[in-house]
A and B are shown apart, each in its own frame.
Chain A
Amino acid sequence: MHNVLDIKGLRIEATSYPPGEAPRNVVLVNNVSVAVQQGRVLGLIGESGAGKSTIGLSAMAYGRGGVRLTGGHILLNGREIREASAGDLRILRGREVTYVAQSAAAAFNPAKRLMEQVIEASLLHGVMGRAEAEARAVDLFDKLGLPDPANFGNRYPHQVSGGQLQRAMTAMALCPKPDLVIFDEPTTALDVTTQIDVLVAIKAAIRDTGVAALYITHDLAVVAQVADDILVLRGGKKVEYGPTDQIINHPQEDYTRALVSVRSIDHVEKTEAPAVLSVSGITARYRGTNFDVLKNVSVDLPAGQTLAIVGESGSGKSTLARVITGLLPAAKGDLTFAGRKLSPDLASRSKDDLREVQMIYQMADTAMNPRQTVGTIIGRPLEFYFGLKGEAKRQRIQELLDDIEMGAGFIDRFPAELSGGQKQRVCIARALAAKPKLIICDEVTSALDPLVADGILKLLLNLQARESVAYLFITHDLATVKAIADKIAVMYRGQVVRYGSKTDVLTPPFDDYTDLLLSSVPEMQIGWLEKVLAGRKMESAGN
């Protein structure tokens, strides 16, 4: 078996342009060496900024933005490509190496039919004729478990689901019979239940075609299912490199151990308490549609506790948040908050109603005005709700920054100067500033790396213990739920299918959907994928 890809002492640099400072050179990847043999899968794992995508793309000698491959060797099929000319690279890209992007929904051209895009590289490089390429594409669609393979390619990207697009992208990568495929977080954007199907499809396709693969992800449990070897990266440097079994079961480095044991927060549910929020019989639909997104939803959230709303995308979780905040007035049903009835419509709520229900969003990035400083962002609710000004305001901002474990130095910083975790902390401080009784957390840890997400969850739990604020915690991630929830409501297609205390909901016997959801969460265990598939009772909604 020869090495399809052989990277030796790779060094990658870029120029960064920090606001208000002179441009400076940053080293993204330093002295990394890996090799992938034919028919083998190498997993690249690490947090964002670890350089895993950058290394992955370097296998095609491609640098995003101003990224430069400044040192070392990249041997593809024994040929040095690090300094190859643009023309030479065009010949091997899409022919010898292909790429599967994280978000297939964005990576497909919306204006072209899927078939046209899937066979494009094969035709461009003269690998095969149109008829043969189309036949191969249909064959791959079939292998990857796509519905109606013969006609699947006639559709446009917007006409198929996210899980299907991700598989179509895999077909696109495999169509020109490459020697190496780079999978860059191919299942990260998918629901857990859909993720399994795509994982299985990718794994089988890799096995059947005998292609070599680089599999990039931040989820160690996922990579444990598909990779033969794993390279753990941190800050652009190698932490640990070895066979999957060794990395998962006998990690040598502390950092790897932290990754393996992440999400070990032990949260004991609180005892029943009077409800701060009662949602009863809510039915809601969006304007101009005649489909109920929520059907007769009833849940209670005890004061100072956490109710987790779990479900796949499209299950109505975020719509429920919109109903509670008054952004989408419900068609039927009542909201009782702190003993009084909440008007369904945002415009007719009192200032106190508004103050006591706050929100934190998934994308902290877009939830803050990029042109305001942290101090202005957190100070706004203080001014608006409490009329604080000058020194009093500054002092309170300081207290809030201490609450979120960020120091005084942050008050004059702009969001662009913060890390992902820090941004989310500022959003938490902004919500806390209003002294709310309820904070709605909409997928607040989904966009964060596991260790950072862990920190946010711990912070939320500490704040809850101190301020006795209640959380309505919307998420699709069951590990997060286990870490933070006191009560759980499982939603499926607009309805609550299972509801109760955390222990009750997570204790068998399960209904079919909860079973599917629970069993779909990847476990840090080699061979888990095959085991879980054998025991499945229903298909996921994403198919």
Chain B
Amino acid sequence: MHPVVKLVTQRLALGLILLIAVSALIFFGVAALPGDAAQAMLGQSATPESLANLREKMGLNEPILWRYGHWLLGFATGDLGVSLSNGQDIAKSVGQRLGNTIFLAFWAAVIAVPLAITLGLIAARYNGRWPDKLISGVTLATISLPEFVAGYIVMYVLAVKFHLFPSMSMVFPGMGIFERLNAIILPVIVLVMVVLAHMMRMTRAAILNVMESAYIETAELKGLSPINVIWKHAFPNAIAPVVNVVMLNLAYLVVGVVVVEVVFVYPGMGQFLVDHVTKRDMPVVQACGMIFAAVYIGLNILADVVSILANPRLRHPK
């Protein structure tokens, strides 16, 4: 078997095992909390009889392993169960929220990733000179600023002072694509500010590391211009570390944007999760946890696969 196929299959299998392990952690973690779903639903009005009835109806008397298996199987087939707080199908309500989150993350990534890599290349090209210091300084400043502070500053300047963009990022089904984009511009700006520095610095460091290699001198002695040396000879060898950091940041854009969503009242996954944690709506919390875990693991596997594919020794064995 080709080593790339073998390695990729290994990574996928490993990711699946990891996901199952995380699912067990989430399910049994929630099950270990005091009280159960029936109690949470009935609340103050619970009587022993009604509790017993509801538990019977919800299958809560079955052995825990059986319930876990049932839940996991449901997950695999797209059935995430029913919300306790409003009785709705979780898959449907989560699906919409997830769509919003991914929409926001996608546009933030489309801007941040190329920008970060370009800035990283420029910083490496002018290593130690003023463009490098400027880029490093500015990105360091944007990452050091807490997200909510950055959010309110951006909102104050661009929405309140100059009325360029809406301060609230309300989106709803049936909204046109341009309206939607206009609505999310401010959170996208804040997210770009947050993720830029990490990716930029990794690109710069990886490039500078490669620049020490003998083949960089070979390229210089061929008469290539500095930016061509970096782009054609250094960057292809710096992809693996850069991709890993890019994927971590993409995962953050999906999983970690709660604060930004709250600041801009954006109806995404983060806010959804927080709402349901306060309502003790455990099936929804479990579903969100699983989706976040899947995104995280999936993107990291993708990073591994890209790194494997970027390695000519693996792609073209002897």
Contacts and interface: CB of A to CB of B under 8 A. Distances in A.
Interface size, A (range)? 20 to 34
Contact of B316 (A93, A124, A156): A156
Interface stretch (B61-69, B82-90, B222-230): B222-230
Interface string A82-112: 0000000111111100110101001111111
A255 interface: no
A120 interface: yes
B223 A109 contact: no
B312 interface: yes
A92 B214 CA distance: 20
B215 A159 contact: no
A90 B224 contact: yes
Interface in B37-69: none
B312 A99 contact: no
A263 B246 CA distance: 56
Contacts of B99: none
Interface string B197-221: 0000000000000000111011111
Interface residues of B, number: 20
Contacts of A94: 221-224
A431 interface: no
Nearest to A182: B221
B43 to A, nearest CB: 60
A109 B236 contact: yes
B313 A158 contact: yes
A110 B233 CA distance: 9
B224 A159 contact: no
A267 interface: no
A110 to B, nearest CB: 6
A410 interface: no
A106 B222 contact: no
B228 to A, nearest CB: 8
B300 interface: no
Interface string A49-74: 00000000000101010000000000
B318 to A, nearest CB: 6
B101 interface: no
A101 B316 contact: no
A92 B318 CA distance: 36
A92 B236 CA distance: 26
B312 A110 contact: yes
A30 B158 CA distance: 63
B225 A90 contact: yes
Contact of A111 (B217, B222, B223, B237): B237
Nearest to B313: A158
B223 A99 contact: no
A107 B217 contact: yes
Contacts of B237: 109-111
A107 B215 CA distance: 4
B213 to A, nearest CB: 7
A155 B318 CA distance: 9
Interface of B: 213-215, 217-225, 233, 236-237, 310, 312-313, 316, 318
12 contacts: A60-B221, A90-B224, A108-B215, A109-B233, A109-B237, A112-B233, A117-B218, A120-B222, A124-B223, A125-B223, A158-B312, A158-B318
9 smallest CB-CB distances across A and B, nearest first, come from A94-B222, A94-B223, A106-B214, A93-B223, A111-B236, A121-B222, A109-B215, A90-B223, A99-B221
